[in-house]
Amino acid sequence: MTAVPAAPIEAAEVEFAPYGDYQSDCPARMGVDLFGNSWLPVIVYMLRDGPMRPVDLRVAIGGISQKMLTQTLRRMERMTLVERRRYAEAPPRVEYELTTAGRDLLIPIYALGEWVDRHGAAVRAGLVGVDDDG
């Protein structure tokens, strides 16, 4: 059976107020910066089904240190992407849950996943034998 190529995804074009190229307050740059932190989209994706405790997040993600997880969750909390809930129990229990803004980040994450599904093999094949220095 021959694979049928997927139809291109049509994304709505967004009009921004005029900014200089890559100025720090440019909304597009903020979006790129969010994905520049390699763990942030992973954590958003892992929280897609509801709140999780940090220990469960770390196990589910794999490969992330406790320090990096804590730093990223704190950053995400400051950015209002996650909400931290502390329960008055012994021992204390903490959970993180996506806010509306965090849930909305799933849209580009899913779109990126679709792109990787369509083009990832070709990109990986092009990287074979390429060193990190370019």
pLDDT of residue 92: 87
The pLDDT value recorded for residue 55 is 95
- Which amino acid is residue 4, in one-letter code? V
Predicted confidence (pLDDT) per residue in 9-54, tens digit: 566 676 756 666 656 667 777 778 888 888 999 999 999 999 999 9
pLDDT of 4 reads 45
Report the chain's C-alpha Rg in angstroms. 18
The CATH T-level fold of domain 27-125 is Arc Repressor Mutant, subunit A (1.10.10)
Q: Which residues contact 13 (CB under 8 A, 6 or more apart)?
A: none
**3-state secondary structure string across 41-95:** HHHHHHCCCCCECHHHHHHHHCCCCHHHHHHHHHHHHHCCCEEEEEECCCCCEEE
Cis peptide before 8 (omega within 30 of 0): no
Q: What pTM, to 2 d.p., does this model score? A: 0.75
Note the pLDDT tens digit of each residue in 62-98. Answer: 999 999 999 999 999 999 999 999 998 888 899 999 9
- Check residue 20 and give its pLDDT: 62
> Per-domain residue ranges for the chain?
27-125
